[in-house]
Chains A and B, each alone.
Chain A
């Protein structure tokens, strides 16, 4: 499973992807959530979730007002 996660990160870094959770198969890719949802509708596919692939060189920090 870690190999799959690594492969997804490298291939789709900085993109939005729709993933089928059981197989970890990427079923749609786009530059935004709406684009990914459009691709899913067009292909008539269902996904378990949509996520942004955090570029692998970044870490995340808190944000405040």
Chain B
């Protein structure tokens, strides 16, 4: 079994109505480049591993950067927690996800991605990402390991 390991990425949380640091949140974000129809992105984008997400959900600009025309793909609705209305997504099938910081990826998977104009933080979900691995280990506030 092979393993790829990535350190957590640190984000800052401020105290309410103040510019004082409340806490640093280390999040399990991993570098992904997209490839579709022989076009691929050059710089990896940090994407959040979200075991609470059913599918991959990316901002449309990530797809548009490699020439994907969203209007050609079927529309769906996606919703999160609470009672907020669903956001519109475009499901693009068979997009290659190149995992790793280097131009030569550590690993490649091919999956469907839901793209949305209303969402900024790229999420890697269970059906679009987790299922391609034998095991994904979260080492609390430290690192994430992808076993395949």
A9-B11 in contact given A34-B65, A47-B43, A64-B79 (Cβ < 8 Å):
yes
A25 within 8 A of B: no
A23 within 8 A of B: no
Chain B proximity mask over A1-20: 1 for CB below 8 Å, otherwise 0: 01001100110000010100
Contact A50 B45 (CB under 8 A): yes
Q: Which of these, B13, B45, B57, contacts A57 with CB under 8 Å?
A: B13
| A18-B45 Cα distance, complex, nearest whole Å | 9
Contact B54 A64 (CB under 8 A): yes
Contact A64 B43 (CB under 8 A): no
Task: Identify whether the interface residues of A are mostly helix, strand, loop, or mixed.
Answer: mixed
Interface residue ranges of B64-103 to A (CB < 8 Å): 64-65, 78-81, 101
Contact A52 B81 (CB under 8 A): no
Contacts of A32 in B (CB 8 A): 59, 61, 64
Least Cβ–Cβ distance between A37 and chain B, in angstroms: 5
Contact A50 B43 (CB under 8 A): yes
Range of interface residues on B (Cβ < 8 Å)? 35 or more
Interface residue ranges of A16-56 to B (CB < 8 Å): 16, 18, 21, 32-37, 40, 46-52, 54, 56
Contact A54 B80 (CB under 8 A): no
B14 within 8 A of A: yes
Q: Which of B24-32, B104-112, B131-139, B140-148 contacts A (4 or more CB under 8 A)?
A: B24-32
Least Cβ–Cβ distance between B65 and chain A, in angstroms: 4
Instruction: Using CB atoms, name the residue of chain A closest to B9.
Output: A51
| A59-B95 Cα distance, complex, nearest whole Å | 29
Q: Which 3 A-B pairs have the closest CB atoms?
A: A62-B52, A32-B61, A63-B80
Given contacts A52-B46, A64-B54, 16 further A-B contacts (CB under 8 A): A5-B12, A9-B14, A10-B14, A34-B61, A37-B43, A48-B43, A48-B44, A51-B9, A54-B11, A56-B12, A62-B52, A62-B80, A63-B79, A63-B80, A64-B52, A65-B78
